[in-house]
Amino acid sequence: MQSNSARTLPYQWSGQYNSQAMNSSTLRGLSADQRRDSAEVADDVDQMQATLHATSNMRISNKLNETEKLTESVEQVLAAVIDEACLLEKSMADTDEALKAKSEPTAGAYDWLKMRANRPPSEAIYDPVERSLEALLAALFEAVRLLESTLAAENGELARLRQGQAALEADIDAKKRALAIDTDCRNLEEACGSMRTTASVVVPSVTATGTSVFSKQPYDPVQWRGSSATIMFNAKKVMAVSARLRKKAADLVCQTNAAVQAALAALRSHHATSIENIKEAIMCTEDEIARCTAEIQDNEDAFAKCDDALVQKQQSSQLAQERLALRSTRPARERVQDPAQTALQNELAEMMAASQELAAQKVHCLTDKRKLEGAKAKLEHTLFLKTEFLKYEEQCAAITIPVV
């Protein structure tokens, strides 16, 4: 049994009770205050969450609208680039066709030169036809050079267009994937634990002053649009160059075709003139040959007449000689130089002189005949050469040089 000194006194018991009751009351007050604070924080958090969620959805929707508009702009530029590439490919096909069209006229011009190389040496002159052939070949070579350089430039621009098209398509693909992700993000209302393992989330850190600091650079609308704007600007610049090149190529095709056609027209005109000149020379040569032939025949007729006359004069001379010889047999006293004797002597002298003149005329006739025959032979050779020349010129006319 405890002693009275060890037992709790009444005032001690009452103090302990009062102390415990006061402590409990204080704790209850603190708890009540904490509960009120918790309720207020919970309400504030709910309101903040709703506000932040609505703000996020609004921002995401704005970004979706902005991305869609920018995507439409990029798609319009892409369509324009594709159309320009198709037009450039058609222009390249036209340039290539014009380039190939120059090969056949070139071959035809060379065939003309080869054919005309067979002309007789005396007819192988450097005439307007040959100069026109050289001018035609020069026009064709220049056209081929210009068209080849233009086609190479078109190939380069087409490659640049394809690069611009690839960049635009990549940008559109990135934006469409971003649109799909942002759409899913906006539609996401409940957390999905499986996404946390695959998604890379950038969580901002908070400084002592309450400012959020991102580990990456914050969104810059100007810089974000600038990337697509740069791609579109570069594509439009290439399209402008391509359009100018297409126009230049079309103009060049027309110009080269016009130059070749002008050279070909000059060639045909000079060739037609050459054929006319050759035919006229042949006709004149044939007329001259006919006149030479007629003159030779007249000369032969004159020679025959001279020969007949010479025979007659020789007979007359023989007769005069015989008559003089007969009169020389007269008696001596009758052999006087009478008028009869003088007349016979004059007749003999005249006949002998006439015979000599006729003999000289026969020589002249023979000389003239030989000269005429020589001239006729030269004319006939010239006629042969002109006929050969005409033959090759007409064969050239049969060689087709197509109009480009």
Between CA 353 and CA 320 the distance in angstroms is: 13
Per-residue model confidence (pLDDT) at position 182? 85
**Bridge partners for 212 per DSSP:** 206
Burial profile 11-41: b = 16 or more Cβ within 10 angstroms, e = fewer? eeeeeeeeeeeeeeeeeeeeeeeeeeeeeee
**Bridge partners for 140 per DSSP:** none
Ramachandran area for residue 240 (φ above 0: left; ψ -120 to 50: alpha; else beta): alpha
164 neighbors 78 (Cβ within 8 angstroms): no
Q: Six-digit token pair at 31?
A: 């708890």
161 neighbors 238 (Cβ within 8 angstroms): yes
Cα distances (angstroms) measured from residue 260 to each of 115, 139, 250: 21, 6, 16
228 neighbors 70 (Cβ within 8 angstroms): yes
Secondary structure element (H or E) that encloses residue 110, with its range: helix 103-116
- Which DSSP letter does residue 229 get? H
- Tens digit of pLDDT per residue, the chain (404 long)? 555 555 655 656 566 667 777 877 788 778 877 878 777 777 777 787 778 878 888 888 888 898 889 899 999 999 999 999 999 999 999 999 999 999 889 999 999 999 999 988 888 888 999 999 999 999 999 999 999 999 999 999 999 999 999 999 999 998 899 889 888 888 887 766 555 444 444 445 545 444 444 445 555 555 556 688 889 999 999 999 999 999 999 999 999 999 999 999 999 999 999 999 999 999 999 999 999 999 889 888 888 888 887 788 778 778 877 777 777 777 777 766 778 778 877 877 787 887 788 788 888 888 888 988 899 899 999 999 999 999 999 999 888 888 76
Q: Six-digit token pair at 394?
A: 């007409």
- Which DSSP letter does residue 9 get? P
215 neighbors 202 (Cβ within 8 angstroms): yes
pTM: 0.66
Sole residue written with tokens 């007729």: 301
Q: What is the largest CA-CA distance in the chain?
A: 250
Between CA 402 and CA 106 the distance in angstroms is: 10
Sole residue written with tokens 């000599």: 356
Between CA 297 and CA 115 the distance in angstroms is: 40
Q: Which residues contact 148 (CB under 8 A, 6 or more apart)?
A: 99
Q: Six-digit token pair at 194?
A: 């499986």
Q: Helices (DSSP H) in 328-337: which residue ranges?
A: none
Q: Six-digit token pair at 110?
A: 């060379």
Between CA 105 and CA 127 the distance in angstroms is: 20
C-alpha torsion angle, residues 292, 297, 301, 307 (rounded to 10)? 80
Nearest to 401 by CA among 112, 114, 197, 90: 112
